[in-house]
C-alpha cells in the first residue's frame, strides 16, 4: 500500500529544459514511476532526439517546444496542449541558464538573461499550468532550485540571486495555490555532473575542492535526484507545500 503513494501511473508530467542534463534524467525517472512525459526545450532537433531515446525505453512521450521566457508563447503552448491532448498533472520547472563572471564587471544583458530564464520562466510556465490545475482542484509543481538557493560562491552572484528568488516564488505559489489543491515545492540540487557544470567538472582544482567541501566527498549523479522528484510529484507529498528539499551530499549542512 505504501508504495502506491509513489505511483505516477495515469499522470502526465511536463518537464521544462528536459532535452539534456537534470531535466532529461528526471523525465526518465518519472517515466519509470509510470508517468506520461511531456518534454520541453527550445531546440526542436535536440528535443526530438531526447524524445526518441526516451520512447525506446517504452515511455509515453510528447514534445512541446517553447521558450520559457516568452509569456504569451508559453501560455499558448500549454493551453493548446491541454485542449488537444489532456491535462498536465505535474510540472517540473527545470529550464535554467548559468553565466559566470566577477560581479563588479558582470554585463547587464547577462544579468537580464538570468532573470528572464531562471525566475520569469518559472513564473510564466507555473502560471500557465496552474490555471488549469486550479480548475481541476489538484496538481503538483516542482521548481528546480540549487545549492545556490542557500549559499553563494565567487563569480556567480547573479545566478545565486535568481535561485534564491525561485525558492521564495515557490513559497508564494504554495501560499496562493494550496487552497486549490496544488502542492508547490522546490528541489535544490547540489553539484551534479551536468552540461551546465561541465567547465567545473573538467577543472581538477575545483573537483578536488568540491570533494573536500562536500561531506559525501564527490559530485552528485543526476539519477540521485529522481527519488526526491518522484516524492514531490506523487501522492506521498500530499501535505508538503512551500518547502525546498536540498539534495546536495550534505554541502549545505556542513561548514
- Which residues, in sequence order, are CB contacts of 141 under 8 Å at separation 6+? 90, 91, 93, 126, 129, 130, 133, 170, 173, 177, 182, 183, 184, 185
Q: What is the DSSP letter of 192?
A: B
Check if 180 is active-site: no
CA distances from 141 to 86, 111, 247 (A): 17, 26, 17
How far is residue 88's CA from residue 86's CA, in Å, rounded to a whole number? 7
Distance between start and end Cα atoms, the chain: 40
Single out the catalytic residue among 66, 111, 123, 159: 159
Q: So which residues are the catalytic ones?
A: 159
Amino acid at each position: 500500500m505504501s508504495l502506491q503513494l509513489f505511483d505516477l501511473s495515469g499522470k502526465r508530467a511536463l518537464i521544462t529544459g528536459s532535452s539534456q542534463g537534470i531535466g532529461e534524467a528526471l523525465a526518465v525517472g518519472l517515466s519509470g514511476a509510470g508517468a506520461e512525459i511531456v518534454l520541453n526545450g527550445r531546440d526542436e532537433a535536440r528535443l526530438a532526439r531526447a524524445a526518441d531515446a526516451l520512447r525506446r525505453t517504452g515511455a509515453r512521450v510528447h514534445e512541446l517546444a517553447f521558450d520559457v521566457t516568452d509569456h504569451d508563447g508559453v501560455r499558448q503552448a500549454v493551453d493548446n496542449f491541454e485542449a488537444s491532448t489532456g491535462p498536465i498533472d505535474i510540472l517540473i520547472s527545470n529550464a535554467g541558464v548559468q553565466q559566470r563572471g566577477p560581479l563588479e564587471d558582470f554585463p547587464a544583458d547577462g544579468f537580464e538573461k538570468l532573470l528572464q530564464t531562471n525566475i520569469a520562466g518559472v513564473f510564466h510556465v507555473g502560471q500557465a499550468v496552474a490555471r488549469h490545475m486550479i480548475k481541476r482542484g489538484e496538481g503538483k509543481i516542482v521548481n528546480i532550485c540549487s545549492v545556490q538557493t542557500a549559499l553563494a560562491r565567487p563569480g556567480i552572484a547573479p545566478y545565486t540571486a535568481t535561485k534564491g528568488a525561485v525558492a521564495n516564488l515557490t513559497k508564494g505559489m504554495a501560499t496562493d495555490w494550496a487552497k486549490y489543491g496544488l502542492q508547490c515545492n522546490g528541489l535544490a540540487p547540489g553539484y551534479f555532473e551536468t552540461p551546465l557544470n561541465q567547465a567545473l567538472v573538467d577543472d581538477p582544482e575545483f573537483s578536488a575542492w568540491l570533494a573536500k567541501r562536500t561531506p559525501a566527498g564527490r559530485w552528485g549523479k543526476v539519477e540521485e535526484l529522481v527519488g526526491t522528484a518522484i516524492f514531490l510529484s506523487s501522492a506521498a507529498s500530499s501535505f508538503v507545500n512551500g518547502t525546498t528539499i536540498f539534495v546536495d551530499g550534505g554541502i549545505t549542512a556542513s561548514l
